[in-house]
Amino acid sequence: MAARTLVGTGELYASTAANWNGSAAIADGDTITAAEGQHLHWDLDVGSTPDTTTWTTGVALTLNGSSTDPGTLIIGENGKNGYLPIKAGSNIVGTAGTYKGRIAGNYEGTWAGTTPLPQTYRGVIEFLGTNAGKVDCQYIDVNLRGYMEVTNEYVRVYGTKQTVTGSASEDTLTCATHGWANATPLCLKVSGGSLPAPLVEDTVYFVVNTATDTFKLAEVSGGTAIDLTTDGSGTIEAYSGCPSGSATINVLDDVTGDAAWSTTAGKNRAVLTNDARPGSARDVQRVTLSTINAGTLVLSEAVDSTQYPNARLWLAVRNVAVRTNTTTSSQPIFDYATASASGGVLNCAIVSMAATNTTGYGYAVNNGTGHVADGLISGCNRAFYGVKTSPLSGTCVGNDYFSSGTTFCSFPGTFVGHGGGAATNDIALDLSGTFFGNTYVGSYLQGAIVSGALRGNYMAIANSNRCIISGTIKHNINGIYRCSGTILRGAEIGANTTDVSYPLGLIGWGVGLQSATQVSNYANGQPYWNCTLYDLADAANTPQPGYLRSWCYGGMTVTDTATIPASPPITLTYAHKMTFESATYPDFIDIPLFCKGGRKLNIDVFIKANQSGMTEVPRCQIIDPSYPFDHASSKLVDTAMADNTNWQTVNVSYVATYDRPLVLRVRGKNASGYLHWMFRVNQPGLILTGNAG
């Protein structure tokens, strides 16, 4: 266990004894320094195969900074394999200099190399011991570029698979004695043709109306059967989820010819994620591969829970990797907390070797700005912690959180099997990737943009403020939970147990909530906030101009085409029906307007209540939205209807002295009952920003 220095400068290979002081081979337990001008190429496997080692202690490593050419570690290059174990409790450190010490891994085997290391070669750093150290990036720069374009990043797992035929006329799928009971979750695949429209592959459906030889499908368990518009063609197969209790699993994807999938120790780690099953906790199992066949895989242990169809087994290795054996949740792996300049290229695997099915260890990337992370992060407590202005475009599988305390970061990658997702007041995130099988995708977010696909999670977005959502939120337990100031623009939301729970102010355009329970507990939020959708989308997610739906503490409003009371003052194809549910708080609906300065706002509201003597007689108001709800100065016009059950015309008019936003508010208050209303704009120069008239 000696202090070892390199001899000479330039490209120096660790396996060459003459490159070390004393011309003696490097040994387990040594302390190594790469000085100015020395590029240490770690070409030692220190074991019979890559990723395995006969060394039990590991080495310590310092990379000196320099004004010109700093000490550099090359771990992984074309034609070379390298495995570098680091002593328990020891960090890879650098020293101060104009240029910090460097760690690189790529095809070229140089600091400046930009070509990913080919799949056939590997470079691995592993921090040993439960008190494992870290890469201390205060004086270290990183440029790791492994082969991330794995052909099969995962395989799809199933239980039973049967060929079916579709019938648009009957809305059924036929398979002789299929044996699938109602509520069985299924997925579909097709070869040489197309599925019956509107069914799509890799989407979970549920059996309804089952019979001996036929069944129908619904988007949710016990839901309405899907209307099939075509029979489909080619070979159509339906498949169920993998049962628990066996180590042999059926797979749809053949990886026998994929070199990335291996049964070799150290290269055979995988993570099974029940990512299509929404539940209150993630369902993750860490395994190794024992046997790889064309249609089956044998795992190191039996599957421990019943899987939904389309559960996936993820490959948890890459050819360039940094691993930790820490059992401390907050131990950094790449630590930029004290780095004067940041921006690591982390296109590699960052993996916790000590992680269990329920607990991750270590912060993969701790702090820093401007990182590029297009790799794999698995088994960590946090993938990104305190990071700023960085994209995480790779794959995160089975960490406790993929983000915490981050700011202005984008997440275009794949995020599966996390306990908490993004949390702890992350600010201005861009969630544009795919998010499956997480307990939360986002919690306590501030100003996030959500354009990705959020499926099979317990809660998609929860306890968050001022998020803009335009993506897909489907097959979750809760879609949007206890969020304030939420904006929906063209989002697809449905097939959730509940689309929106405890809304604290939500507004949407061209959006429809398609689940059986669209909004719950709307009377348990703030009394003067509402949840309103303008140009409400239909079941096909097509916006319907003028249609709206709104929920607030005092009740709800919905566009009504079927039960408009007789003899209205004007004829329109629809009216809006306001249903009262509180004698304490008003039911109200706001129509956003924009009025040009100098123009007279003139609107007729046609209104009919089903009863008189309500707690608050319905009224029509022109509101200045810059004031709090019901503030005296907010009511530019306030006109009540007569207290009877006749159709009435209530005119409201106002002259704007400058270009300004306004609100047409219709409101009333009662423990029960309802009213119908519609409105007409009587002059040009007014813009209905909600398009709800």
The tens digit of pLDDT for each residue in 375-402 reads 999 999 999 999 999 999 999 999 999 9
Same domain, 120 and 14: yes
Q: What phi, psi does 592 have (nearest 5°)?
A: -70, 135
Give the per-residue pLDDT at 682.
Answer: 85
pLDDT confidence of 527, banded at 50, 70, 90?
Answer: confident
The one-letter code for the residue type at 379 is G
- What is the average per-residue pLDDT within 28-52? 85
Same domain, 612 and 641: yes
Residue 318, pLDDT score: 96
**Per-residue pLDDT reduced to its tens digit, 116-149:** 999 999 999 999 999 999 999 999 999 999 998 8
Do residues 258 and 377 share a domain? no
529 occurs within a structural domain = no
> Average of pLDDT values for 404-426?
90
Least confident segment among 3-7, 44-48, 614-618: 44-48
Q: Do 188 and 209 share a structural domain?
A: yes
pLDDT tens across 572-602, in order?
Answer: 888 999 999 999 999 999 999 998 898 889 9
pLDDT at 528: 87
Residue partners of 162: CB distance under 8 A and separation at least 6: 175, 178, 237, 238, 239
Residue 262 and residue 225 in contact, taking contact as beta carbons nearer than 8 Å: no
Cross-strand bridge partners of residue 193: none
Same domain, 146 and 8: yes
**For residue 341, is pLDDT > 80?**
no
Q: How confident is the model at residue 226 (pLDDT cuts 50, 70, 90)?
A: very high
Q: Return the minimum-mean-pLDDT range out of 8-22, 102-116, 393-407, 515-529.
A: 515-529
305 lies in some domain: yes
Q: What proportions of the chain, in percent to the nearest 5, are helix, strand and coil?
A: 0, 45, 55
Locate tokens 């507004």: which residue? 507
d(CA 621, CA 637): 5
Give a yes or no: residue 385 inside a domain.
yes
Residue 691 has pLDDT above 50, yes or no: no
* 195 located within any domain: yes
pLDDT at position 689 is 45
pLDDT confidence of residue 573: 83
DSSP 522: G
Q: How many CB atoms lie within 10 A of CB 37?
A: 17
Bridge partners for 401 per DSSP: 382, 421
Same domain, 395 and 267: no
> What residues form DSSP beta bridges with 368?
none
**Residue that is last in its domain, among 211, 239, 267:** 239
Contact 25/13 with Cβ under 8 angstroms?
A: no
Its pTM stands at: 0.93
Residue 678: which CATH number?
2.60.120.260
- The distance in angstroms from the start CA to the end CA of the chain is 82
pLDDT over 60 at 48, yes or no? no
pLDDT band at 47 (very low <50, low <70, confident <90, very high): low
Q: What pLDDT shows up at residue 690?
A: 41
Q: How much is the pLDDT for 276?
A: 82
Whether 414 is in a domain gets the answer no
Query: Average pLDDT of 162-181?
Result: 98
Domain of 283 in residue numbering reads as 248-315
In a domain, 543, yes or no: no
Can you tell me the distance from the alpha carbon of 292 to that of 19, in angstroms, rounded to the nearest whole number? Answer: 42
Answer with the one of 217, 239, 261 that is the final residue of a domain.
Answer: 239
Q: Is residue 531 part of a domain?
A: no
* pLDDT score, position 51: 54
Q: Cα separation of 410 and 392, whole Å?
A: 6
How many other β-carbons are positioned within 10 Å of the β-carbon of residue 371? 23
Nearest CA to 105 out of 79, 130, 76 is that of 76
Place 693 in a pLDDT band, splitting at 50, 70 and 90: very low
Region of 275 please: left (phi>0), alpha (psi -120 to 50) or beta: alpha
509-517 long-range contacts, CB within 8 A, separation 24+: 509/533, 509/534, 509/535, 509/543, 509/690, 510/534, 510/535, 510/537, 510/543, 511/536, 511/537, 511/543, 512/536, 512/537, 512/538, 512/539, 512/541, 513/549, 514/539, 514/541, 515/220, 515/479, 516/220, 516/223
pLDDT reported for residue 497:
94
Q: Is residue 124 part of a domain?
A: yes
pLDDT score, position 480 = 97
What lies within 8 Å, CB to CB, of 239 at 6+ separation is 158, 159, 160, 161, 162, 186, 187, 188, 189, 252, 309
Bond prior to 565 in cis (omega within 30° of 0): no
Query: Are residues 271 and 341 located together in one domain of the fold?
Result: no
**349, pLDDT greater than 60:** yes
Do 488 and 553 sit in the same domain of this protein?
A: no
CATH number for position 215: 2.40.30
Q: Are residues 141 and 78 in the same domain?
A: yes
The predicted-structure confidence for 533-579, as pLDDT tens digits, reads as follows 999 999 888 999 999 999 999 999 999 988 899 999 988 888 999 99
Strands 449-450 and 468-469: parallel
Q: Where are the beta strands (DSSP E) in 128-267?
A: 135-136, 140-145, 154-158, 161-167, 172-174, 185-191, 205-208, 214-218, 235-239, 248-251
Which structure tokens are listed for 169? 């006329």
Are the CB atoms for 316 and 271 separated by under 8 Å? yes
274 and 385 both lie in a single domain: no
Contact 511, 530 (CB under 8 A): no
Q: What is the mean pLDDT of residues 253-266?
A: 94
pLDDT (0 to 100) of residue 208 = 98
Domain end: 315, 335, 351, which one?
315
- Are residues 197 and 294 both part of a single domain? no
- Are 629 and 562 in a shared domain? yes
In whole angstroms, give the CA distance from residue 108 to residue 115: 7
Q: Is the CB of residue 669 less than 8 Å from the CB of residue 588?
A: no
Number of domains observed in the structure of the chain:
5
